[in-house]
């Protein structure tokens, strides 16, 4: 997630069809916090390396990151995403209505554990251990050799990491 990233899709060429649809849905809803196109390309590469595995995502938003994942996922891969905001979850569900590999739920990120273990897990809407919430335990969510992507960490210039003057325990 990057603030104002959704606007970057307006000038980005050669988008996968579903990525363009999800970005349009985000733009129409004035949702600015989609992943950057460059981050989407990374998600695409990671999803392409999973094979016929399971991919999970917290924080669906309008489905931009999920669309990048689905665009390169193996035809037999299964993709699961959870979004806490009902409107965003419904919008994303419409983007993927004709994609049987993708399941989107509205709920708390912890409910995604029902679909574990994952081969690839993208944490963008919970599970990172930010704020008062404990981080998820990777061994309980991932298959051996699985990959986890942690999003939403503010760049740091020093150590120990601080955000707003407070120690960033999640990053540590």
For 73-117, the pLDDT digits (tens) are 999 999 999 999 999 999 999 999 999 999 999 999 999 999 999
Position 45 scores a pLDDT of 97
Q: Look at residue 87 and give its three-state secondary structure.
A: helix
| Of residues 57, 35, 168, the one with CA closest to residue 123 | 57
**Per-residue pLDDT for 3 more than 90?**
no
Mean pLDDT of the chain: 90
d(CA 2, CA 165): 21
Which CATH homologous superfamily contains domain 6-167?
Vaccinia Virus protein VP39 (3.40.50.150)
pLDDT at residue 4, as a whole number: 80
Identify the band that residue 134 occupies on the pLDDT scale cut at 50, 70 and 90.
Answer: confident
Partners of 68 in the β-ladder: none
Query: DSSP character for 141?
Result: H
- List the chain domain ranges: 6-167
CA distance 140 to 33: 28
Q: Where are the alpha helices (DSSP H) in 3-161?
A: 17-28, 37-48, 64-72, 86-95, 138-141
Greatest mean pLDDT among 55-59, 137-141, 153-157, 159-163: 55-59
Which secondary-structure segment (H or E) carries 148? strand 142-150
pLDDT above 90 as % of the chain: 67
């Amino acid at each position: 997630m990057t603030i104002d990233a959704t606007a970057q899709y307006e000038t980005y060429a050669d988008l996968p069809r579903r990525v363009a649809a999800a970005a349009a849905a985000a733009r129409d809803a004035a949702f600015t916090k989609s992943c950057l196109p460059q981050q989407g390309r990374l998600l695409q590469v990671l999803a392409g390396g999973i094979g016929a595995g399971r991919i999970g995502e917290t924080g669906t938003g309008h489905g931009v990151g999920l669309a990048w994942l689905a665009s390169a996922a193996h035809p037999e891969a299964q993709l699961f995403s959870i979004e806490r905001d009902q409107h965003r979850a419904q919008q994303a569900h419409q983007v993927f209505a004709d994609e049987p590999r993708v399941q989107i739920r509205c709920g708390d990120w912890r409910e995604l554990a029902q679909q574990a273990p994952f081969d690839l897990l993208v944490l963008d809407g919970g599970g990172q251990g930010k704020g008062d919430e404990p981080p998820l335990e990777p061994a309980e969510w991932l298959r051996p050799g699985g990959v986890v992507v942690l999003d939403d960490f503010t760049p740091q210039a020093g150590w120990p990491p601080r955000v707003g003057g407070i120690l960033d325990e999640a990053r540590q």
